[in-house]
Chain A
Amino acid sequence: MKTLNKIIFTILAIPLLLSGCQTGNSGQSGALSSDVASKVYVKPGEHDEFYAMVSGGFSGQLSVYGLPSGRLFKVIPVFSVDAEKAYGFNEETKPMLNTSHGFIPWDDSHHPELSQTNGETDGRWCFINGNNTPRIARIDLGTFETAEIIELPFSGGNHSSPFTTENTEYVVAGTRFSVPYPQKDMAIEEYKGNFKGALSFISVGEEGDMDIAFQILMPGFDYDLAHSGKGKSHGWTFFTTYNTEESNSLLEVGASQNDKDFIAAINWKKAEEYIAQGKFRTVATEYAHNKYDDATHSATSTIKKSVKVLDPADCPGLVYFLPTPKSPHGVDVDPTGEYIVGNGKLSANLTVHSFDKVQQAIANKSFDGEAYGIPILKMDEIVVGVVEQAGLGPLHTEFDGRGNAYTTFFISSEVVKWKLGSWEVVDRQPTFYSVGHLMIPGGDSKKPNGKYLLAMNKITKDRYLPTGPEVTQSAQLFDISGDKMKLLLDFPTVGEPHYAQGIEAEKIKPRSVRIFKLEDNQHPFAAKSDKETKVVRDGNTVHIYMTMIRSHFTPDNIEGIKVGDKVYWHITNLEQDYDVPHGFSVMGAQNSELLVMPGQTETLLWEPLLEGVIPFYCTDFCSALHQEMQGYVRVSGKNANVPLKWSLGDHM
C-alpha cells in the first residue's frame, strides 16, 4: 500500500516539476506545461461565453460559433441559397436575392460587423458584405436570420465594407474595383482618369432599415478596407487604397509601383452638411432593396432609382489623403480613436497616423500636393509611430483595450503583439498557416474584451485529416489575457473565413426569439388553425393551405391535382413551443425542402410532371410519431376529371 502511495505521489509530482521547469521557457508549450484543454472546455449542457460571427467567405454565408469551445451553432444563409433552410428556394425568401441583375444565388461574404451603440457592440444586428454583386446584408440577432439586403450601385467588388460608425449611424461600403462612372461600354485601356471608385454611406434606422444616404465619388483607385473613427475621431471614416497607379492589367506588378498609397480620410459629418446644403448630384441608377418581414414571414424587393453623389472636388474639407506605405490592406483605429494603423501589405513596417496630427496638418494646410483635387497631407507631419520590421505582409490589427495591438502577418504566418505609444514588439506567435484577419471580441470597438484572439488562416495543409485536394480552412484561438499569447485551439471553418466579430453571449441570449406567435402571423396564405385549411384551384394554379403539428399535416390526403399544375404548398407550423420546427418535402420538388419554425408559414412551389400518387413527409424528426407524419397527393392527367378533394382522417 505504501509503495502504491509513493508511486502515486511520484506521478503527481512529475507534472508539477515539469511545469516548474517550463516557466522560464518561452512559448513552446509542451502537453504537460499547462492545462490548455480545460481553457476551451465547455461542459456538456453549459454555454460558451462569447458568440463569434465568422464570415463564410466564398460560401456567401455567415457562421456562428461559440468561444472558447469553437463549436459551430448555425450557418446563417445570407447571399447564397441554402436548400436546408429553403433560403432562396421558398417563395418567401426568393426576393431577398433579387438584384438589378435579377436573382443571384451566390456571393462571396467577407466582413461581419456588429452594430454599435456609443462605440460598443450592442447585439442588435450583424452586417456583412457581398463582394461580387455588391450588396450589404443585415442579420437580425433576435432571429439569426437575414433581415435586409441592399445593393450598391456604381460598385464593383464591394470589399471595404461594411464598417460601422460608433452609433451605427452608417455602415460604409467602398468599392474595391473602380468602374466607369456611370457604367458604360468603353475601352478598358482608357481606365486612367475615367474610372471612379464609389464610397457608399448607408444610413441605418432605429429598426435597422438601410438606405444609401450618399456616395462619394473618388478617383479610380482600389478601396481595400475601412474603419470608422471613434471617440475624438467619431465623424470620420478611413479607407485604405491601393493601385493609386490606376493600372488596369497585371496589377500584381502594375499596382505595386508606388512606395506609398493612401488612406482616404472621409469627414462624413462634413458630408452631411454638404448634403443638407444641396451640394449633391442625384444620379439615376437601379439597385435592389430587399426586406424580410417577421409578421408576414415574407420578403419584398424594391428597385430604387437614384442615389445622391458628392464629388470631393466640389466639397472642400470632405476628403484628405494620408500617404501610407505600401499598398495598405487593413486600416484599424484604436479604442481611443487617436491611432490610425495602416497595415502596409507590401511594406516591412506598420505605419501609425495620429488623429490629432492629422487635424493639425489640415488646419496648417500642410499639404504635399493633391490628387484629383483631394489634398495629400504631408506624411512626416501625421505619422506618430512606426512598428519597425515586425514581420512580413501585415494585414490587420485589433486591440485588447490594455494598450496593446495585435497584427497579423500573412507572409510570415504570425500574430505580433505590440504596444501602442512605444511601438515595440512584445510577443509573437506562429499561426498555421498564412493568417488573414484576426478578431478580439469588441477588438475594433471602443471597448474590447481582451480575453481571446481568433486568428483566421487561409491555408491549413497538414493540420487536419486530409479530405482530398480541398482541405478545410481554419481558425485558431489564442488566450491573450497574459503577457504572452497562448495557442489554445484549432477549429475548422465554413468557407474561407475573412473577418469575424465576437460579442459577449449575454448581450444576445436574452433577445433570442424562441417562437413566432401564431396570432401575429400575417402571411397572406397562412392557415392559423385546421378550420382554415383548404385547397383552392385558380386555372392551373393550386394553393394548398396546410398546417402541421406533432405529428400530422392537415390535410394529409389531397386529390384533384393535375400534371402541369403550379402547386403552391403554403404550410403553417401551428406549434408554439421552442425548438419544434417541422420540415416538409414532396417527391419531385425541383427546389428544396421547407423548414418551418413554430408559428411561421412558408411556401414551396411544386410542378408535378408525372401522374401518380406522391407521398410527402416531415423532414425534421419532431416526435415519437415523426415517422407517421406523412401524406399523399394524387396527381392526375392534364385532362382528368378528378375533383379537388382534401381530408385528414375522418374529420374533415
Chain B
Amino acid sequence: MKTTQFMLLVLLFSFTSCGNADKSKSDVAETKTTVTEKPKSMIADPRENKGIGPITSVSLGATIDEEMAAHGKEIYDAKCTACHKPDTKFIGPAPTGIFERRSPEWIMNMILNPEEMVQKDPDAKKLLMEFNGSPMANQNLTEEEARAVLEYFRTL
C-alpha cells in the first residue's frame, strides 16, 4: 500500500511538472475539452446526438415517401422483427415514436454500425444496459436499406 501511494505521488509529480512547463496552453485546452465534452455526455435532448457511424446527415422529405416506406417495412419485417415489434418493447425498443427520442442519423448509425455504437455512443450504451446486455444485431443492411427502414419508421 505504501509503495503504491508513493508511486502514485511520483506519477502525479511527474505529470504536474510536465504540465507546468506549458501552463497557459494546457489551461486553454482544458477549457476547450469541457466545452465540447460536457454537452455530449449530458445532452438534454438526445435528438441532437447523431451517433457514430457512416451517416452524418439525413434530410427527411416534407412528406413521407410511401414507396420507400413500403420497401422499408419489407426489410424491417424480414430482418428486424425477431427483436423489435413495431409498437411494443420486446427484445429491443419499439420504433414507434422513435423520432421523439432520436435523430435520424443516430437511428441509421445504430442500424448500420451497432457494434461501435453500443461501445462508444452514450445513448446506445444506456440502451444496452436497459435491455440487459442484449446486443443490437448487425443485420448487414445497406445504407439505402437502412434509409428505407427509417422512412418506414416515419409512418409508425
**Residues of A bordering B, CB below 8 Å:** 515, 518-519, 528-531, 547, 549-552, 554, 574-577, 580, 623-625, 649, 651
Contact = CB atoms under 8 A, between A and B. Distances in A.
Given A625-B134, A651-B90, 14 more contacts: A515-B140, A529-B77, A529-B78, A530-B82, A531-B77, A531-B81, A549-B82, A550-B137, A552-B91, A624-B132, A624-B133, A625-B133, A649-B90, A651-B85
Where chain A touches its partner, the secondary structure class is: loop
Nearest to A650: B88
B137 A575 contact: yes
B2 to A, nearest CB: 28
Interface in B107-140: 132-135, 137-140
A345 B142 CA distance: 59
Contacts of B77: 529, 531
Nearest to B140: A576
A454 to B, nearest CB: 37
Contacts of A577: 137-140
Contacts of A624: 132-135
Contacts of A625: 132-134
A390 B139 CA distance: 60
Interface residues of B, number: 18
B55 interface: no
A549 B135 CA distance: 10
Contacts of A531: 77, 81
B138 A576 contact: yes
A267 to B, nearest CB: 51
Contacts of B133: 623-625
Contacts, number: 53
Contacts of B91: 552
A515 B141 CA distance: 13
B68 interface: no
Given A576-B139, A651-B85, A651-B90, A518 B79 contact: yes
Nearest to B82: A549
B154 to A, nearest CB: 22
Contacts of B70: none
A531 B133 CA distance: 25
Given A515-B140, A577-B140, A529 B82 contact: yes
Interface string B45-80: 000000000000000000000000000000001110
20 contacts: A528-B78, A529-B81, A529-B82, A531-B81, A549-B83, A549-B137, A551-B134, A574-B82, A575-B137, A576-B138, A576-B140, A577-B138, A577-B139, A580-B137, A624-B132, A624-B134, A624-B135, A625-B132, A625-B133, A649-B90
A321 B126 CA distance: 77
Contacts of A551: 134
Nearest to A649: B90
Nearest to A622: B135
Nearest to A552: B91
Contacts of B140: 515, 576-577
Contacts of A550: 134-135, 137
Contacts of A518: 78-79
A547 B91 CA distance: 14
A530 B137 contact: no
Contacts of B85: 651
A326 B85 CA distance: 75
Nearest to B90: A651
A580 B85 CA distance: 22
Contacts of B90: 649, 651
Contacts of A528: 78
Contacts of B83: 549
A554 B77 CA distance: 15
B133 to A, nearest CB: 4
Nearest to A548: B82
Contacts of B82: 529-530, 547, 549, 552, 554, 574
Please provide the 9 A-B residue pairs with the shortest distance between their CB atoms, ordered closest to farther: A624-B133, A576-B140, A577-B138, A549-B82, A576-B139, A623-B135, A529-B78, A574-B82, A530-B82
